[in-house]
Amino acid sequence: MHWSGKQAFVLIATTSLLWACKPAPVLENGDRLIASVYNENLYWSEIEDIIPKDVSAQDSQLFVTGYINRWIKDQLMMREAERNIPKELNLEQLVNDYRKSLIRYNYEKILVENYQDSTVSNEELRAYYEKNKSQYPLKYTIIRCLYFKVDDKDKNLNKLRKAMAQGDVDVAEIADLGSEANIQFTDTTQWYRALDILDQIPGNRVRIRDLDPGKSFDVSDSGFHFVLRVIDRAKENDLAPMTFIQDQLTKLILHQKRFKYLENITQELYDQELRKNNIKIYIE
Residue 15 and residue 68: Cα distance in Å, rounded?
Answer: 10
Beta strands 224-234 and 142-151 are: antiparallel
Name the strand (E) or helix (H) holding 185.
Answer: strand 183-185
Average pLDDT in the 57-66 region?
87
Residue 139 and residue 126: Cα distance in Å, rounded?
Answer: 22
Reply yes or no on whether the pLDDT at 76 is more than 80: yes
User: Tell me, what amino acid is at 16?
Assistant: S
Sign, CA dihedral 176-216-184-235, equals negative
The predicted pLDDT at position 190 comes to: 93
Q: How many helices (H) and strands (E) does the chain have?
A: 8, 7
Percent over 70 (pLDDT), the chain? 90
Average pLDDT in the 52-59 region?
83
Residue 270 and residue 268: Cα distance in Å, rounded?
Answer: 5
How confident is residue 9, by pLDDT bands cut at 50, 70 and 90?
very low
pLDDT digits 0-9 by tens, 89-99: 888 999 999 99
Reply yes or no on whether the pLDDT at 20 is more than 60: no
Average pLDDT in the 256-284 region?
91
How confident is residue 195, by pLDDT bands cut at 50, 70 and 90?
very high
The predicted pLDDT at position 7 comes to: 52
- The residue with greater pLDDT, 85 or 72, is 72
The predicted pLDDT at position 31 comes to: 84
User: Tell me, what amino acid is at 68?
Assistant: I
CATH 3.10.50 fits 138-234, yes or no: yes
How confident is residue 139, by pLDDT bands cut at 50, 70 and 90?
very high
Reply yes or no on whether the pLDDT at 51 is more than 90: no
SS3 35: strand
| Residue ranges per structural domain of the chain | 5-83, 138-234
Spatial CA neighbour of 11 closest among 40, 35, 37: 35
